[in-house]
A and B are shown apart, each in its own frame.
Chain A
C-alpha cells in the first residue's frame, strides 16, 4: 500500500495528565484533572478568577510538585526530565513578570536563548521583534515600556526559548494578551496560531471568551479546579454553561467567520438565575 494511503495515525501526545490534584496551603485548587495536548493544538484554558488556571499552568511548568507519573511530557514522566533539557522543549509565560532592573528589550529576549552563537541569537531576536511588533523598542529599557509592550517583550523571550529548536514544543501561556490593545491581541494570536501549524502545542489561559473562540481549536472551561466543559468553541460557549460558571448572562451568535461570539446581555433578563450571588439580604 503506497504511503499516501496509510490511514492517519493520531499524533503522540505532547502532554498528558491523569487525574491530577493540586493543593496549595491545604486548599484543593485543582481536582481530578485529566487532559491530553497534541502537537499543533491551541487549547484555551477558561474559567472565572480563582478557578485554578494559573495553578494548573504553574504545575505543568514544574513550579509546583505533582505526584510522579501523573504528568507525562513527550511520553516520559515529567519529573524524569532534566530541567535544562525540558527547557528546550517547554517554554512558560507567567501571568506577571516584574522587572526592576535596567535591561533592554534585546537583553530580555536574549535571556530566552543563552548558549547560542551571538550571530544566531541576534537573528532570532530580530525575527521575534519584527513578528511581535516590538522592534521599535529594541534598545529601550523594558521597565520604561507600557504594560502591553512589556507583555509582548516577555512573550518574545518565551518564544526565543523554543525557536528553531527540535520538536516537541509546548507553550504554556498564562494570559499573554491581557494588557494588549485589540489589534495587538489579534496579531499575537495569529502568531500563536502560526506556531501551532507546524506542531507546537499551546495551552493558553485567557479571559477573553471571543478571542478564545476565534483562535482556539479546543476550549477547556474550569470551575473550582474541575473541568466543567471541554470541546470546540461551539460546544463550550453555551449561554447556560456560561451562566452556571461565570454568572454571566449572555447570548451566543454564530458568526459568518465560522466561530461563535459571546455577547453579554443586561443582567436583568435573568438576574434570578445567576448562581453564586447573595439570594437576599436578611431584613428586619
Chain B
C-alpha cells in the first residue's frame, strides 16, 4: 500500500536548480565547439563591448549566441507545448506532434527540399532563403487547422476526435513525405535527412527575428491557460462546471502549440522527445499543477536542448550530429529508465 505522502520540490529550489542548469548549459554552449573559446576570453570580450574584430568575436556573437538563443527558445516552446497538450488531452504521453503540426511542417519542408528545383521552383525563387521555413510554418499550422476543423462539430470541439484526426493526418502527411523521399536525389536526400533529425547548426540572427516572436508569444501567453488546464485534468465537463470557458481553453492551447511549435520546427527541423520527456519528468518534481509546471518546462526544456546541442557539436567535432538524434539517444534510454523505475518501485 502507498502510505507515503508525496514530497514536491519547493518552487525556489526547483526553479533555482533549473536556472543554474540553464546558465551552465549556456556557458558551455558559448565556449565549446569546433573552435573552442575559453570562458575567460568571452567575459573579456563582453567587458570590452565586443569591439575587437577577431574570429573569436565572430564565432561567439554571430554563430553561437543566435544558436544558443534559438536552442533555448525552441527547447522551451517544445516543452511548454508538450505540457499544454498533455493537459488538454489528459494524457501524460501526448506530444506536440499529436495535433499534426510536426508532420505537416515536415511534409512542406521536404516538398521544398525535393521539388525546389522543379515543381516548386517558383516558390523557391519567390521566397528565397525563407522558402523552407515559411513553407514548414504554413504546413504545420495548416495541418493543425485541418485536424481542428474535423474535430469541430456543432459548435463543439471534441478532444478525442482531435486526437484521432491528428493521428490520421500524421499518417497521411507521413505517406506524402515518404513519397517525396522516394523521388529525392542524393543531395536532396541528405539535406532532408538532416532536416528531419533537427539541427541548430544553421541558426542565424535572421532566424531568430523571424521565428522568435511566435515562440516568445507562446511562452508568454501559455501561463494564462494554467488554471483552466488544471481543471481540464479532471475532464472537460469538470472544467466547465468550475466556470471555465472550455472552448476557449481548447482553442488557446491548440493555437499556441501550433504557432510555437510550427515556428520552432520551421527553423530547426524536427526535434523529438523534448515535448514528451520534459513535462513528464518535471511533473514528478513540481506536481501536475500548471502554474508551477509551465515555467519549469520553459526552463528545463531550454536547458536540456542547449545541453544536447553542445553534445551534438562536440562528440564528432569538427562534424556535427543532428540534435534530434542526440535527443533521441539521450531521451529514449532515460525515458525507459523512468518507466522501469516506476514499474519496479
Whether B235 pairs with A97 at a CB distance below 8 angstroms is yes
Q: How far is the CB of B89 from chain A (nearest CB, A)?
A: 11
Please indicate the chain A residues that have their CB under 8 angstroms from the CB of B234 in the complex.
97, 99, 108, 111, 157
B190 CB–A CB distance under 8 Å: no
Contacts of B230 in A (CB 8 A): 111
Does B64 reach chain A (CB closer than 8 Å)? no
Q: Which stretch from B46-54, B236-244, B264-272, B296-304 is at the chain A interface?
A: B236-244
Instruction: Determine if A102 is an interface residue (Cβ-Cβ < 8 Å).
Output: yes
Q: Is A123 an interface residue (CB 8 A)?
A: no
Whether A83 contacts B6 by the Cβ 8 Å rule is no
Instruction: Out of B227, B241, B288, name the residue touching A101 (CB < 8 Å).
Output: B288
Chain B: number of interface residues, binned into ranges: 20 to 34
Contact of B242 among A101, A102, A111, A144 (CB under 8 A): A111
B residues within 8 A CB of A141?
2, 6
Q: Mark A71-101, 1 if CB is under 8 A from B, else 0.
A: 0000000000001111110111010011111
The answer to whether A97 and B5 touch across the interface, beta carbons within 8 angstroms, is: no
Chain A: how many interface residues by the 8 Å CB criterion? 34
Q: Which of B6, B91, B92 contacts A139 (CB 8 A)?
A: B6
Q: Which residue of B lies closest to A85 (CB)?
A: B243
Q: Is the Cβ of B5 less than 8 Å from the Cβ of A140?
A: yes
Contact call B235/A114, Cβ cutoff below 8 A: no
Q: How far is the CB of A134 from chain B (nearest CB, A)?
A: 13
Q: Is the CB of A94 within 8 A of B237?
A: yes
Q: A101-B288, A102-B288, A141-B6 are in contact. Are A87 and B92 (CB under 8 A)?
A: no
Residues 57-79 of chain A, each 1 if its beta carbon lies under 8 Å from chain B, else 0: 01001110000000000000000
B237 touches A61 (CB 8 A): yes
Q: Hey, which chain B residues are within 8 Å of A102, CB to CB?
A: 6, 283-284, 287-288
- Mask, B83-110, CB within 8 Å of A = 1, is 0000000111000000000000000000
Known A-B contacts A111-B234, A140-B5; the reply to A103 vs B240 at CB < 8 A is no
Q: Is the CB of A233 closer than 8 A to any CB of chain B?
A: no
Bound complex: CA A61 to CA B237 (Å): 9
Chain A 263-278: CB-based contact to B (< 8 A → 1; otherwise 0): 0000000000000000
Interface string of B282-323 (1 = CB under 8 A from A): 011001110000000000000000000000000000000000
Q: Which 3 A-B pairs have the closest CB atoms?
A: A87-B243, A139-B5, A101-B288
Residues of A in contact with B (beta carbons under 8 Å apart):
58, 61-63, 83-88, 90-92, 94, 97-104, 107-108, 111-112, 114, 138-141, 144, 157, 161
Binding site for A on B (CB under 8 A): 2-6, 90-92, 227, 230-231, 233-235, 237-238, 240-245, 283-284, 287-289
